[in-house]
Structure 1
Amino acid sequence: MATASSLSRLFLGKNLCGRAATISNTGFVKFYSVAPSYENIKIDVVGAKKNVGLIQLYRPKALNALCKPLFQELGKAVKDFDSDSTIAAIIITGNEKAFAAGADIKEMQNNTYSSNQRQHFLQEWEDISNCGKPIIAAVNGFALGGGCELAMLCDIIYAGEKAKFGQPEINIGTIPGAGGTQRLPRYVGKSKAMEIVLTGNFIDAQEAEKMGLVSRVFPVEKLLEETIKLAERIGTHSPLIVKMAKQSVNQAYETTLRAGLQYEKSMFYGTFATEDRKEGMTAFIEKRPPNFKNE
């Protein structure tokens, strides 16, 4: 098992906001701000090749409740990482207690139907869904309401063994509004989704993995390390082809099987117009590692 000191060396290096970072003995990043740019999130670039963008939700006193300023900052950070050619994948995480324990209820308490329409309430979520690079959620603690929806908005979910997921909006007289009633059935099926949404009950990490909501479950102290390994593995491939693969998988949720198969075939054909496809197959035949150039 890696020590805290060895993990510290892994996480030190290139930094987007003048922050140095080390690993605590719980496996979470400790950020030391030199020139802070955000109030509600912390960001860094991590991994052995410094090609993984890390975003930590940072409202610890509010269990990372998703207020509008937080999501505006999150959207900007995701767009910045997405446009950075040195970044292969993005990780969104929280802390030991909470990934995000829901939306900020006090912030939305006095909203009205007309104000939601005028202000395009929750529009900031589009910044996350429009990201071309893979986004991985590393979930420890509570991922409830908007927190669960944010995790589902990511492409892959890894969870710590003590994580809790749920859509408890029914308990406060409303329903999920950022994908909970739409993405959850696609992950776990209609019956389970109905049970979760209509009761407001929580599910633990082990049940979430069994249902297909979560890809893998790890000890709390290993979660971030394992998530970074996954991001680094993705980073060994052509960024161009990874983006095409992500688009193709997402298309499965947007269309019929027949139309999806046609879309996949078109994308597959499209890979043959890239230099990275040629390099990948040539390297395989020559039994050497490929040298992808994102072309």
Structure 2
Amino acid sequence: MLGAPPISGAIVHIDLYSVYALDSGQSSAELAQRLSEQLGQVAPHDGLTRARIQTALAILSDPGRRSAYDVLVADPSIPITEQTLAAMSGVPQPGAAPVPSAPVTAAPLRSDLAAACGQLKGSQKWTRKSPSLRAAQAELSSDEKVLAVLPANLDSAGSDWLGMELTAFWTGALVLTDRRLVYAMESRVGQERAEVLVSAMDSVNWTRRLLEVLITISADGDEHAFTTYSTKDAPAFVARLNSMVKPTQSTTSTTSASSRWPDPPPPPTSGPPPGWYQNPNDPAQQRWWDGSTWTEHIQTATPPPPPPPKPTAEQENK
């Protein structure tokens, strides 16, 4: 009889240690032995339970995958669904039909793509093994130039919170060329493709979000969002994208004060002595003339005296 309850699809934060009564202080080899024992107690026809234990075994028996999973499980606010576990383990989701994927090959990278990968600070392992990077290369034409590369995934359900150590096999590839942004993801979990023309981009923004960076691109009224755990490389990638975004059609005028109010011509050369005179730019003001040029000193003009009152009829008859 299985000594651990099955994983319920309703659980949004699956703690494998609790589900299978495991000691998180044990080594990966010890956990693998415990899970293998539980797997041996499951009837061969119970495919769903066997698939779930195999998923847990694939994650917890591998030190790299387990390290990434431990980061997620330590924070109860991070969703960990069966789709998340399937993606982390590479084991197809229980009950789901296997998704065909292109064969992973070690095809050499074209020179400009390899050069862009060489600029990455923390993803050398990904560039060596990523089938997604090779898939993105297959989408490129020979006459476009690669400018930058970033390991990333579409920001959508089932691709969040998948762990930093898993980039070698699950992470998609963002490739920026001189004309478009190409996205490709190849894994046993699924395939994804997307592209955004540089000429259509209106704005590019990025936000730090817990363990990842969210990159949002607005293009012709549509929004495209990608997440990456390569926090060291994301800012430079976004800066390169922003340098290519078309300038806005509306510009803010920055007319200077001097162009709005040009200095008036000076009085005649035989001009008056220094004193307050009517400001040629505003008759309601007086401006100081220093004898040779106008200064910046301005005051309200002294109003003229009011006209004398009109005589009354009685005064006129006298």
TM-score by length of 1: 0.23
Kindly indicate whether structure 1 or structure 2 has the higher relative contact order, using CA contacts under 8 Å at least 6 residues apart: 1
Higher relative strand content: 2
Larger Rg: 2
TM-score (norm 2): 0.22
More helix by share: 1
